[in-house]
Structure 1
């Protein structure tokens, strides 16, 4: 597939999901790649996934009202949304720090490169223990020069730590994990149980997802972006965090807009019982734990479908649910490094070091695909009944992006500063202060997307439905 455009990418998502093709006439997309410095068609990915999510919301609203509406997406606004965490500002302060200093690329003894991901304290300590070095980039770099790249990559993976050897696209394609992903579609929307149809409430609802309850058991970017997208179309989204689980403060703020936030400890019986009570009254159960982790606590898709017939269960993972890497810890930048994206960006730009995409494109696109899948499943539930399981992964999204073809000189495009996207941001008062953040990129003719709630600190609300 070459010269992918936003329109073709949207058409692929929409038709693969079995959605009504006539709805595509209600979408207007403007802009062309490159919108950011990259040889990949990141703008087409951003416009298509955000437009798919917006159109799915419009179609669910049509079930309620019988009315179609126009959905439009400007690529520059879509790309601003894909960089929402970069443009976040609190009380007109500096850009928030999103990464630990040790996170980054390092050269190994055999001339390879490896990326460390140490943004959580326990991951940092684990990596330093394996390397046998002090905290800091210089100490880590010196230690890594004593390792061969592939050996260190496997050693860190075996220790459940976060790293990725920089591979070429061909090296990635030869791995069993890449072969497993090649047999999977971009996303899956699967019926997993019988349940009566549940049409959306008719009348009196000015937003597509009014009355839809979402439990958001995810952290960092991909899963939280999915929950945030459902919130900005009117869903009642309740985020559930564990008291022991680490978070990154700016991401809690950026991706917490429109949501309430509660804490439950699923390690104890009382926390699991509370979650079961919430799940019995939820519509969408969104989770981004490693495959199988929640099922071990009694909250797998089949258990939830028995507990709450008609549920839409959404699973977000890093490397997919099949293959030898299914249990491997992963983040957007690591998937870019492992799958050849960081190598290709470096090669095109002639850099000394590997080079990532100019945004967390796999995270954001996967988040919007998860929200899209959830709304398509809600629409199917409304018309034909059933319980549903939606599956997406960063690696499958990355595989799709790589199929778009390259823009050889795309890396020379100008970068986009906050001042260039002032029309895409807005401010809101919150308990964190005055928050400047990117607004929803999809323009909805009848039901404008917006955040009804400011971001809240973790655990600010009770674990109950209003």
Structure 2
């Protein structure tokens, strides 16, 4: 590992009691494709290296042989644009419905810049109604320019809308929320109680086989974390509210290896089904807004009564403390307020986000690492465990690294041939995606099933599998579709953020 990668890896390892020395991780130092003056490639490489270490350690704890862990730096960096390399029968799936005018960086009346996000219809409509604006960029810019940023910020928080002021890194560290977050490690882990009623079983084929994970998340970090768990054997049941909007291309891409059911947790019958799943679950990964679990009647006391050995992993924008702890957030907002956007925009004539969803995907990996670490500690100490990862805290860790000038090599078809795999679905369609990001020497990663749409599985009949990991037979293969050609492939230096054009 280089210095930056080692710093990130060691921070995570020290926080989560991972015992694998950094020197034991094999890192292939391939070049980045991102042009921004940030140590993005090294940051995500260090994070994924820690993910690999956590997989190796829980696998060994469960009786698997000791394994070597390999991470390819360029491959790791491609994870930050993963949905942009997902194809159905050779055609790019990523759509344009999330490219809307309200997802933009705008200037207020008092000259301050800010970023807004209205990717969901109710957020988009709320922003347009607030500014009395038509749904186009120029109209919105004209209306935003009539209101001071302090009023916008206060009103948006009250109305549950999403924005963040644009700060430099120094301004963010001086901000009360930045100061609150600086006190937290990358991953928060907390034990409650010492019940020892649930133990890990022996593994036969993969590190996470037989682990029961409930996924109640939405784009992007949450479903990404549970897809990573599924890649290495976990039995993942994804629960989605049928009334909640979802961004199809991203959610679909992150559904590999999962059972997809729909439950409305405000309905008693659906709540009873959810409680039934919780009783036998190893972990609940929750990705909705602050206090949403509690509002649905699942506070910590209730969860501990249902399952005293549950791991509850939550993903937030701004963490559990500070004046913004109750705010909703998105990747774009966290980039903007922490100073990433300021740095990425140097030398440009307008503000610009990093050409990748750095925080969503890295925070998703961190949530997976935290979940695995808590399960390892539960095996030793018992108890109920809370885990939390935060988009803005991920940004702060990245910004703490020294960016080194290096040759930047744009993404090309050679990368598609190197890193893409094919997997045939039950319908016979061929899906093409990036190969799993951690290479384990003895237990290769794969997803037992291909992607599926929201609600594809019967919520009444769906339950935990007896053999969720299968027999160890890999379900994907080197891509043949790539050699025939990919429709919609975009070469270059990453995407100018898939939600802001």
TM-score grouping bracket, smaller chain normalisation: over 0.9
User: 1:450 maps to what in 2?
Assistant: 446
Partner Cα distance (1:424, 1:300) in 2: 42
Whether the 8 Å CA contact 2:31–2:409 is kept in 1: the answer is: no
Partner Cα distance (1:97, 1:415) in 2: 22
Shift of 1:373: 0.9
Question: Structure 1 residues 379 and 173, CA, compared in 2 at 3 Å: closer, same or farther?
Answer: same
Shift of 1:432: 10
Partner Cα distance (1:143, 1:248) in 2: 27
Shift of 1:367: 0.7
Asked if residue 435 in structure 1 is aligned to residue 431 in structure 2, the reply is yes
User: 1:335 maps to what in 2?
Assistant: 334
Whether the 8 Å CA contact 1:197–1:383 is kept in 2: the answer is: no
TM-score (norm 1): 0.93
Partner Cα distance (2:109, 2:135) in 1: 20
Partner Cα distance (1:118, 1:283) in 2: 34
User: 1:459 maps to what in 2?
Assistant: 455
Asked if residue 235 in structure 1 is aligned to residue 234 in structure 2, the reply is yes
Asked if residue 374 in structure 1 is aligned to residue 371 in structure 2, the reply is yes
User: 1:216 maps to what in 2?
Assistant: 215
How large is the Cα RMSD of the aligned pairs? 2.0
Which consecutive unaligned segments of at least 5 residues does structure 1 have? none
2:352 corresponds to which of 355, 365, 372: 355
Shift of 1:422: 3.0
Partner Cα distance (2:332, 2:442) in 1: 37
Shift of 1:40: 1.2
Secondary structure at the residue paired with 1:313?
strand
User: 2:286 maps to what in 1?
Assistant: 287
Partner Cα distance (1:142, 1:384) in 2: 58
Shift of 1:9: 1.7
Aligned length: 458
User: 2:491 maps to what in 1?
Assistant: none
User: 1:62 maps to what in 2?
Assistant: 60
Question: Structure 1 residues 4 and 26, CA, compared in 2 at 3 Å: closer, same or farther?
Answer: closer
Partner Cα distance (1:301, 1:352) in 2: 49
User: 1:423 maps to what in 2?
Assistant: 418
Secondary structure at the residue paired with 2:42?
helix
Partner Cα distance (2:30, 2:391) in 1: 23
Deviation digits for residues 214-257 of structure 1 (CA, Å, limit 9, x no counterpart): 00000111011110111001000000000111110111121111
Secondary structure at the residue paired with 2:276?
helix
Partner Cα distance (2:198, 2:276) in 1: 20
Asked if residue 398 in structure 1 is aligned to residue 404 in structure 2, the reply is no
Whether the 8 Å CA contact 2:15–2:185 is kept in 1: the answer is: no
Shift of 1:199: 3.9
Shift of 1:417: 4.4
Shift of 1:462: 2.5
Deviation digits for residues 21-62 of structure 1 (CA, Å, limit 9, x no counterpart): 45x443111226754212111111211111211221111110
Shift of 1:382: 1.7
Partner Cα distance (2:55, 2:32) in 1: 28
Shift of 1:122: 0.8
Shift of 1:332: 0.8
User: 2:156 maps to what in 1?
Assistant: 156
Partner Cα distance (2:228, 2:349) in 1: 37
User: 1:5 maps to what in 2?
Assistant: 4
Partner Cα distance (2:112, 2:413) in 1: 35
Bigger drift between 163-172 and 221-230 goes to 163-172
Deviation digits for residues 71-129 of structure 1 (CA, Å, limit 9, x no counterpart): 00000110112210122223323462352321122233333322221211111110000
1:413 corresponds to which of 408, 416, 421: 408
Secondary structure at the residue paired with 1:65?
coil
2:361 corresponds to which of 359, 364, 373: 364
Partner Cα distance (1:33, 1:246) in 2: 37
User: 2:49 maps to what in 1?
Assistant: 51
Bigger drift between 3-12 and 271-280 goes to 3-12
User: 2:345 maps to what in 1?
Assistant: 346
TM-score (norm 2): 0.87
Whether the 8 Å CA contact 1:226–1:367 is kept in 2: the answer is: yes
Partner Cα distance (2:216, 2:414) in 1: 34
Shift of 1:155: 2.6
Deviation digits for residues 147-205 of structure 1 (CA, Å, limit 9, x no counterpart): 333432333233211122212223222321112112222211211122116443226x1
Whether the 8 Å CA contact 2:115–2:166 is kept in 1: the answer is: yes
Moved beyond 6 Å, runs of 4+: none
Which consecutive unaligned segments of at least 5 residues does structure 2 have? 466-501
Whether the 8 Å CA contact 1:150–1:165 is kept in 2: the answer is: no
